[in-house]
Structure formats: C-alpha cells, structure tokens
Amino acid sequence: MKKISILGSTGSIGTQGLEVAAESGGAIEVVAIAGNRNVELLEQQIRKYRPKIACAADEEAAKRLATAVADTSAKIVAGKDGLIEVATVSECDMVLSAIVGFAGLEPTVAAIRAGKNIALANKETLVAAGDIVMNLARERKIDIIPVDSEHSAIFQCLNGEKSIAPQVDHNKTDDSYVNNAKNYVNSLEKILLTASGGPFFGKTRGELENVTVEQALRHPSWSMGAKITIDSATLMNKGLEVIEAAVLFGVDIDDIEVVVHRESIIHSMAQFVDGSIIAQMSRPSMKHPIQYAFTYPRREFSPMERVDFKTLKTLTFAPPDEETFRCLALAKEAGKVGGALPVVMNAANEVAVEKFLQGEIAFLRIADIIEETMNKYSNVSCNGLEDIIKLDMEVRKTTL
C-alpha cells in the first residue's frame, strides 16, 4: 500500500488524485490533505478519505473545519506551517504536489528534505528552482515522478531505454535516470513536446485583441484550474513545460520541439538517435499520469476510457505560432538564459494572468508585461532558495 499526501486537494489535480486513490481498491491511502478555504469540500474529503491531517488555507477556515469535523480524529492545521506539516507527515511515502504557482515551491522542497518521493504537478516549482530541486532530490535519493501529462509521457517513453544505454551503471541506485535522461539514455536525440494549441489556435493577433476571460477559459480538451487554463491560451503553459522538461530530463532547451497536436491523444514523444520515435497515448485525462505516478514502477488496472482508433481516424500536427503566442518564445528565452530569469518570467506571468482574470488587462498585454519585466530584471542573479523567494516577491510587487 502506498501512502500519499496531497497538496492542493481541493483543486483540479488534487480532486482527481483523490479519485485515483478511491478507485485503487485500497492500494493507495491518503494520509494528509491541504486545500483552500472551501470548508464544505474539505469536510467531505476528510469524511471520505480519513486523512490523519488536513490543512485549510487560513486560520479562520481551519476553525470552521475543525468544528465541522469535531467527531472525526483528523488533526486540522492551517496556512503555510500546516502545508509543511502535510508535506512532511511521517506516515507518507509520496507527496502529490498540486498547488498552483510559486506557492508550491516551499512545501515541495520541505517534502523532498523529509525524504518523500514527489508526484509533481506543480511545474512552477521546476521553472523557478529547477537545479536546486533536482539536486536536493538526488541528495535525498528521492524520485520526482512527473504528473504533467507531457512529462509523464516522456518519462514513460524513456522506460526501458536505460537498460540498453551502454554507459549505465546498473548497480548505481542512488540516482534516477529519469531525472537525468541525457546522461542515462545516451540514445535520446530530442523530445517532441505536444501542445493542444489552446482555445485560440489559428487566431491572428488582431483576432486576439478583444478576447474575453470567458473565451480564454474555454479549453478545447482539458478541464483545469483557471491559471493553467489561461497559460494554455497564451502558450505560456507550453513554455513552462519546455523548461520543466529540460530540468527533469537533463536536456537542452534546443533539444525540445513543441508540436501542436489538437486531439491531445499523443501526450509527447521521445526521438532517439536511430530516428525511431516512441509516443505515449491515451484519452486526455489527468487521472492517467496521476495514477502512473502513484503506482510507478508498476502499472495497475484503470477503468478509464480507451483510445478507439476506429472512431478517432486522424491525428493532426502543426508547428506553434510563436509570433502570435509570444509567451512560448519568452519562456524558451528565459530557459536558455537560465539563472534568475525563469524566476522573473514566472512571477511576472502569475501577476499578469491574475490581472487578466480580474478583467484589469487585455489578453495580449500578458506577453507585454512578461517581456517588460524580463527586460527590467535582465541583470539580476539568484544564489539559493532564499534569494529566489525574495526575487519572486520583489517582481510581484513591481510588475504593473
């Protein structure tokens, strides 16, 4: 039995993680959860999953939650300290990191320091502090198993390649090849990262000038939290994922090619030096990659709908339009420059997306704001986690 803590249990990934646990026939136990201020939902989750600890976003919500579940044995905690408690609880083997944004970084780091394996949905963690997080993971000998569907796909495509890579030391158990594929799978040539293209695929800049929040939130193939849905509309999500893939698999940004694939059936591909390409496919549901992260290295039965090629018939591919969707180009640039720039880029994006969601700025301003902020902070550097946290805060305060 695997014991899981879930950071972000009330969100899109968090609730699907709980469903995967419920459908596991007792193989996956949820020992701790951390959610938002939705006390009713947290109460339901406590009654259904019986976690030992549950964290609400603030003291006020925690108080109401404690009253609501006074008849259960769940310990109720709150805020940032509560998140850390959920991330490090002694009973758990794996933490599903599914808080949205930079806020996920500190609890994820705390979980790694406590020796927990990570099922990682929170890509912003790797964008802002990739080297620190990966080095810490190696030092603590824990696995970071990607939950982002593209990265889970690549991870699955690389399975088995390890055994044929000549330089692999099979006795070396202190490092995961998955977290440094280029070193371990010398036959990997490049990563083909698929993208749905979002709700505005094919649109011109002129057509994007007056798009509404509601239109941007209408994603063609995935139902997700608001921030990542807007990121999908701007293609920033793919930009963040390029950096995430570079960090997770130890490849250069230039060895990652984004391929627009509207049907979201192929979740990404690995291309090898002999020209062979391995693709991972399934119906688009995040429960696939979540379950795989939970059960890895095993595969367990899943009742999810199968791909039916008789009705599917065609899969389409196109290059991304980086001139219209500049966020992808900006993120690639930040990833190539490295250092503090991805921290700046990520913080500026979080502020800009929030402003767009609040109706304060137009859709096309998001990329402008990110570019302006990246220019403003082009000379900053960061040394360690504290610096990154300080810089993130400063950029948020000054991004207009």
Where does this chain bind ligand NAD (CB under 6 A)? 8, 10-14, 35-36, 57, 83, 98-100, 103, 121-124, 148, 222, 224-225, 228, 286
Stretch that binds Mg ion, among 14-22, 23-31, 144-152, 306-314 (CB under 5 A): 144-152
Q: Which is nearer to ligand NAD, 103 or 293 (CB)?
A: 103
Q: How far is the CB of 101 from ligand NAD (least distance, A)?
A: 6
Strands 277-281 and 188-195: unpaired
Q: By CB neighbour count within 10 A (0-12 exposed, 13-18 middle, 19+ buried), where does 378 fall?
A: exposed
Stretch that binds Mg ion, among 136-144, 148-156, 244-252, 255-263 (CB under 5 A): 148-156
Q: Which helix (H) or strand (E) holds 386?
A: helix 385-398
Closest CA to 122 of 41, 51, 225: 225
CB 244 within 8 A of CB 148: yes
Strand 75-78: give its sheet, edge to edge. Answer: 75-78, 53-56, 28-34, 2-7, 94-97, 117-120, 144-146
Judged by beta carbon distances under 5 to 8 A according to partner kind, the member of Mg ion, ligand NAD, none in contact with residue 268 is none
Judged by beta carbon distances under 5 to 8 A according to partner kind, the member of Mg ion, ligand NAD, none in contact with residue 2 is none
CB 11 within 8 A of CB 99: yes
Q: Which is nearer to Mg ion, 148 or 392 (CB)?
A: 148
Q: Which is nearer to ligand NAD, 103 or 328 (CB)?
A: 103
Q: How far is the CB of 192 from Mg ion (least distance, A)?
A: 14
Q: Which is nearer to ligand NAD, 126 or 374 (CB)?
A: 126
Q: How far apart are CA 234 and CA 352, in angstroms?
A: 11
Q: Which is nearer to ligand NAD, 161 or 194 (CB)?
A: 194
Distance of CA 282 to the CA centre of its chain: 18
Judged by beta carbon distances under 5 to 8 A according to partner kind, the member of Mg ion, ligand NAD, none in contact with residue 8 is ligand NAD
Q: Does 148 bind Mg ion (CB under 5 A)?
A: yes
Judged by beta carbon distances under 5 to 8 A according to partner kind, the member of ligand NAD, Mg ion, none in contact with residue 36 is ligand NAD
Q: Write the single-letter amino acid at 260.
A: V
Q: How far is the CB of 251 from ligand NAD (least distance, A)?
A: 19
Q: Which helix (H) or strand (E) holds 180?
A: none
SS3 of residue 101 by DSSP: coil
Paired with 359 in beta bridges are none
H helices within the chain, ranges in order?
12-22, 39-49, 59-68, 79-88, 105-113, 123-139, 149-158, 181-184, 205-208, 213-216, 226-234, 236-249, 287-295, 309-312, 326-337, 341-357, 365-376, 385-398
Judged by beta carbon distances under 5 to 8 A according to partner kind, the member of ligand NAD, Mg ion, none in contact with residue 10 is ligand NAD
Q: How far is the CB of 245 from ligand NAD (least distance, A)?
A: 13
Q: How far is the CB of 121 from ligand NAD (least distance, A)?
A: 3
SS3 of residue 350 by DSSP: helix
Binding mask 83-122 for Mg ion (x = CB under 5 A): ----------------------------------------
Q: How far apart are CA 200 and CA 215, in angstroms?
A: 9
Strands 277-281 and 266-272: antiparallel
Q: How far is the CB of 386 from ligand NAD (least distance, A)?
A: 18
Question: Whose CB is nearest to ligand NAD?
Answer: 11
Q: How far is the CB of 149 from ligand NAD (least distance, A)?
A: 6
Q: How far is the CB of 226 from ligand NAD (least distance, A)?
A: 6
Question: Which residues of the chain form contacts with Mg ion (CB under 5 A)?
Answer: 148-150
